[in-house]
Amino acid sequence: MKDEKTTTFDLNHHILNLLRQEPFFAALSRRINKRPSTLIPTAGVRVDPDTAQFEMLYNPEFFDRLTHPERLAVLKHEFYHLIFEHVTSRKPSDISPRTWNFATDLAINSHLDDLPAGCLKPGQGFFEDFESGLSAEQYLSLLLKKQKEEQEKQKNGGESGDAAPDGLPQDGQFDSHDDWGDTDGGNPTNDIASERLKDFVKKAAQEAVKSGWGTVPANVQRDIKSRLETRVDWRNVLRYFIKTSRRADRRSTVKRLNKRYRYIHPGKKVNRQANIAISIDQSGSVSDAMLEAFFGELTKLADLASFTVIPFDTRVDEKLVYEWKKGKKIDTKRVMSGGTCFNAPTKYVNNNGFDGHIILTDMAAAKPIASLCQRMWMTTKDCLRYNYFQTNERILAIDA
């Protein structure tokens, strides 16, 4: 890798002023790392393969040349790539990266003004017959048709304008998509990053409800909200928990060097497997149908890992706590039927050293004490509407 040049422009010093009138983008921006690099010509977002964190790379020399409105447009362009999940999950497997890149840029730039010269824009130039406001998948369909037409012109010796051999314009891709990697599924790093992104977008949307959405169009607001209403994917949930859990098991070993005192003290071997607790609300307000739906989701989880089940109402009876081993099937059963107190399972989990805690409930009780480990909630879509208490912790909604 070649050496990077020393520059004076620091985007982080300009962020507050750039996003002053954009509460949603400002809230999302705080959760995205930004790193200067002269190894890319303009800017780009990616998933760091080592940390599964999102980061935005930007060329400081490029940003230094832009006007204030152009800088803001570029920032929003990059954030829209994250919001629309272009970086992690949506590229069709049989489509060339260049074609998909054009489609995503057209979808994003439909919502932006003041872009730097040369950016793709529906209704302009090569894309003058493309309407604005479509999704990346819709633009992809239009592009494939356009490519075929342009390639036919080239084959027959006709005028093809500025089109390259693949039927797309020679230039026009504004930002860097080189580090998007494998978005066809099966990539654990991308799966973990996707889970984090949902949390980031949800928290940014919650702040936007209070402070305003800025220039985010109403149809995009609806799209963002609909993306947050997803069904439970236990495989992604588990990967997220395991990757971000505390180190559950540390022991000394002479086979591993100590990073600070090499050959003096033994190193440490770490087992990163998360110890997950699943608390099931068995209070009288949780119907048998809801309880059956919860056990149905746990059966899916048991295909992937073992976990500890903690039935509770206003208390936890330790005699009823059991381990649900991977691959086993357990019948739905109610063992308690009192009121609801979320402090009871939280205290039990806090006192027994778990790394992750998921509470299955109708949410019909007061906000509990703080959890010492990551805590998530699962409820039905109907119960989610009632908002018995406010929390920044993630809530998963299922159909009962």
Query: In the chain, which segments carry CATH 3.40.50.410?
Result: 236-245+275-398
Q: Write down the pLDDT at residue 195.
A: 78
Q: Write down the pLDDT at residue 54.
A: 86
Q: With CA atoms as reference, report the closest residue to 172 among 207, 122, 232.
A: 122
The superfamily CATH assigns to domain 236-245+275-398 is: von Willebrand factor, type A domain (3.40.50.410)
Q: Write down the pLDDT at residue 257.
A: 57
Structural tokens at position 343: 């402090």
Question: CA distances (Å), 175 to each of 118, 158, 159, in order?
Answer: 11, 31, 28
What is the distance, to the nearest Å, from the Cα of residue 368 to the centroid of all Cα atoms in its chain?
26
d(CA 178, CA 44): 8
The list of the chain residues with pLDDT below 50 reads: 1-5, 182-185, 248, 254, 272
Q: With CA atoms as reference, report the closest residue to 184 among 256, 121, 95, 266.
A: 95
Q: pTM score, two decimals? A: 0.60
Q: Write down the pLDDT at residue 184.
A: 47
d(CA 71, CA 29): 14
3-state SS assignment for residue 145 = helix
- Which residues face 360 on adjacent strands? 280, 378
Q: Write down the pLDDT at residue 352.
A: 95
Structural tokens at position 245: 């859990």
